[in-house]
Amino acid sequence: MDAKPVFTIIVPVYNEQEVVEVTHGRLTEVFKSVGEPYEILYVNDGSRDRTIDILHEICGRDENARALNFSRNFGHMAAITAGMDHARGDAVIVIDADLQDPPEILPEMIKEWRNGYDVVYGKRISRKGETWFKKLTARVYYRLLHNLTNVDIPVDTGEFRLIDRKVCDAMKSLPERNRYIRGLVSWVGFRQKAVEYVREERFAGETKYPLKKMIKLAADGIASFSYKPLKLAMGIGAILSVCGFIYLIVILIRHIVNSASMITGWASTTAIILFSQGIVLMMLGIIGEYIGRIFDELKGRPIYIVRDEYGKDISNDKQ
């Protein structure tokens, strides 16, 4: 791989020993047909299976393959960030290793990039092999995020996309550590276009985004690009205060009219107190989420730590 690559394909991997060889084969086939210099940059996010051994073998036999090996699991967004930091191509492509996003539509993305678009993202028109619950929650989340933020984050999209070198450089200049990549790509702007596709079932292995991680991802997206939850907390607090004042007036009037009636109603009063306190605690949790993010930013720790690097000329890769 002597020539500077035109394309860098970033592939985050975490415990993907069952699929990484197949992924590499399909990506290689696609980019050989494209006919321009390319590199496939795997980012091993602290896998505990044989993934890194397989990547080492791949890098040893294919000069177009490179790999970064994290010191531990730092997360999907950190892996993509590391890939962007080490990418050398004029265009940078992000694709997961599970083959749910088919590599075969990448030539169509490249065509749109050649037509002058700086960001070409994959938009899912259907999702195979997923439960009705996941489809429903994903649909609700994307539209909720779209309505909550002032940034135009496209619905039904993930990190599967092609970005131009200038977009990648703009992303690298952003200092924040709690990174929501699809939101940041929308925030930096530039000309963007969607390419629609059908999301396939996972080729092998198990999902790396169970419900707990999906909830965290949703919280990251909302907290990173919207202050509306904080404004909502203020609004709910004001409404509860007004309701509490009105209820106090009602109690005083009832006491003046008939003091004996004050013995009853303790159950409803208790329920109101529990409800209002639950709302207060929920709002405190939202505020705590934002404060926690401020604390993370102030610590200034690196987003990721690379333990090992594999592949030809990898030491000279940084822009």
**Token pair of 249 as six digits:** 């007036």
Distant-in-sequence, close-in-space partners of 102: CB < 8 Å, separation ≥ 6: 197, 200
Structural domain includes residue 163: yes
Q: Is the dihedral of CA 162, 165, 170, 172 positive or negative?
A: positive
- Do residue 240 and residue 311 come from a single domain? no
Q: What is the pLDDT along the chain (319 residues), one digit of tens a residue?
A: 456 888 999 999 988 888 888 989 999 999 888 888 999 999 998 888 888 889 988 888 888 889 999 988 888 888 998 998 888 888 999 998 888 888 888 998 899 899 989 989 888 877 665 666 666 766 676 677 666 677 777 777 778 889 899 889 988 888 777 777 877 888 888 888 888 888 776 555 555 555 566 666 666 666 666 666 666 666 676 676 677 667 667 767 766 776 555 555 565 666 667 667 777 777 777 777 777 777 777 777 788 888 888 876 544 444 3
- Do residue 69 and residue 213 come from a single domain? yes
Q: How many CB atoms lie within 10 A of CB 225?
A: 19
Torsion of CA 186, 188, 194, 195, to 10 degrees: -110
Q: Is the dihedral of CA 62, 94, 85, 295 positive or negative?
A: negative
Got the DSSP string for 223-235? HHH--HHHHHHHH
- Do residue 209 and residue 254 come from a single domain? no
- Do residue 194 and residue 255 come from a single domain? no
- Do residue 151 and residue 285 come from a single domain? no
- Do residue 216 and residue 265 come from a single domain? no
Could you give the CA distance from residue 52 to residue 55 in angstroms, rounded to a whole number? 5
Q: In angstroms, how far is the first alpha carbon of the chain from the final one?
A: 17
Number of domains in the chain: 2
Q: Is the dihedral of CA 274, 280, 283, 288 positive or negative?
A: negative
Could you give the CA distance from residue 182 to residue 192 in angstroms, rounded to a whole number? 12
Among 93, 105, 123, which Cα is nearest to 196's?
A: 123
- Do residue 260 and residue 206 come from a single domain? no
- Do residue 133 and residue 49 come from a single domain? yes
Structural domain includes residue 159: yes
> What is the CATH classification number for the domain harbouring 76?
3.90.550.10
So what's the pLDDT on residue 233?
A: 66
Structural domain includes residue 288: yes
Could you give the CA distance from residue 258 to residue 111 in angstroms, rounded to a whole number? 80
- Do residue 176 and residue 242 come from a single domain? no
Structural domain includes residue 2: no
Residue span of the structural domain in which 291 resides: 228-299
- Do residue 54 and residue 191 come from a single domain? yes
Residue given tokens 């002032």 in the structure block: 150
Q: Which residues pair with 52 in a beta bridge?
A: none
Residue given tokens 């779209």 in the structure block: 146
Structural domain includes residue 56: yes
Provide the whole-model pTM.
0.70
Structural domain includes residue 134: yes
Structural domain includes residue 1: no
**Token pair of 302 as six digits:** 């690196």
- Do residue 15 and residue 162 come from a single domain? yes
Structural domain includes residue 279: yes
**Token pair of 128 as six digits:** 């195979």
Could you give the CA distance from residue 183 to residue 193 in angstroms, rounded to a whole number? 15
Could you give the CA distance from residue 207 to residue 312 in angstroms, rounded to a whole number? 31
- Do residue 140 and residue 152 come from a single domain? yes
Assess contact for 138 and 123: CB atoms under 8 A. no
Could you give the CA distance from residue 313 to residue 125 in angstroms, rounded to a whole number? 39
So what's the pLDDT on residue 316?
A: 43
